[in-house]
């Protein structure tokens, strides 16, 4: 059941034109870089990062399939692009990306999260995806951008909020492998989310 609750105004803060709405869903699924650059002027505090070559074409495909699969299981999903308004109270949040590197084939899959409350979720996804993904899996939070992803501050996810980099698409071998597997990879992410949120 999804609902819209208006956050209580904090007495000490200056009056704002509108209180921040808190949106409640089971899961938030965001497609990295989707909607840019058109959305960039509306979110001047976000870096207008357009992603690796080809990334912006793939992240919505993956996010849509994850969303379809979860909704088919009766799970309430907020499907968001890269830039969105509001604050989300959910069980799990995933921000879908593919990595790109100036030194092709120097990275692979990776996971980003901001605090220890998401480390069990990261471990579960690593266990599941590393059995399937035949290339390198980088250490968690191997870049600052992974740990301090801008959208983490717009979500509270009880079971975990993760940036999921599904592979390095600037690496021809990884790109080719991923290109024919976007659906099974997406369905694996959906399975991961179902397992994650079923734990409580």
- Residues of the shown chain interacting with Zn ion in the complex, contacts defined by CB under 5 A: 32, 51, 97
Which C-beta is closer to Zn ion: that of 91 or that of 154?
154
Which C-beta is closer to Zn ion: that of 65 or that of 165?
165
Distance between terminal CA atoms of the chain?
17
- Minimum CB–partner distance for residue 107 and Zn ion (Å): 12
Tell me how many helices (H) and strands (E) the chain has: 5, 7
- Minimum CB–partner distance for residue 22 and Zn ion (Å): 26
- Minimum CB–partner distance for residue 119 and Zn ion (Å): 21
- Minimum CB–partner distance for residue 121 and Zn ion (Å): 19
Q: How far apart are CA 36 and CA 56, in angstroms?
A: 9
Say how many C-beta atoms besides its own lie within 10 A of residue 28's C-beta: 24
Give residue number: closest CB to Zn ion.
97
Closest among 62, 34, 67, 25 to 159, alpha carbons compared? 25
Which C-beta is closer to Zn ion: that of 51 or that of 167?
51
- Minimum CB–partner distance for residue 6 and Zn ion (Å): 32
- Minimum CB–partner distance for residue 11 and Zn ion (Å): 39
**3-state class of 188 per DSSP?**
helix
Which C-beta is closer to Zn ion: that of 23 or that of 55?
55
Closest among 62, 185, 92, 95 to 131, alpha carbons compared? 185
Using an 8 Å Cβ cutoff, are 69 and 136 in contact?
Answer: no
Which C-beta is closer to Zn ion: that of 67 or that of 110?
110
Which C-beta is closer to Zn ion: that of 36 or that of 97?
97
Q: How far apart are CA 119 and CA 128, in angstroms?
A: 14
Cα dihedral 75/81/84/86 (nearest 10): 10
């Amino acid at each position: 059941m999804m609902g819209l609750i208006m956050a209580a105004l904090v007495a000490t803060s200056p009056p704002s034109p509108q209180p921040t709405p808190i949106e409640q869903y089971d899961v938030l699924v965001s497609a990295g870089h989707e909607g840019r650059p058109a959305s960039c002027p509306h979110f001047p505090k976000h870096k207008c990062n357009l992603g690796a070559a080809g990334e912006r074409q793939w992240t919505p495909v993956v996010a849509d399939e994850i969303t379809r699969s979860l909704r088919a299981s009766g799970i309430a999903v907020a499907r968001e692009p890269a830039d969105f308004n509001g604050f989300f109270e959910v069980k799990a949040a995933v921000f879908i990306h593919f990595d790109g590197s100036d030194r092709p084939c120097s990275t692979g899959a990776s996971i980003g999260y901001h605090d220890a409350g998401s480390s069990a979720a990261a471990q579960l996804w690593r266990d599941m995806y590393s059995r399937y993904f035949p290339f390198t899996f980088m250490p968690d939070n191997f870049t600052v951008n992974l740990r301090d992803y801008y959208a983490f501050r717009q979500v509270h996810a009880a079971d975990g909020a993760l940036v999921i980099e599904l592979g390095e698409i600037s690496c021809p071998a990884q790109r080719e492998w991923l290109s024919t597997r976007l659906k099974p990879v997406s369905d694996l992410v959906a399975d991961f989310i179902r397992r994650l949120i079923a734990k409580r």
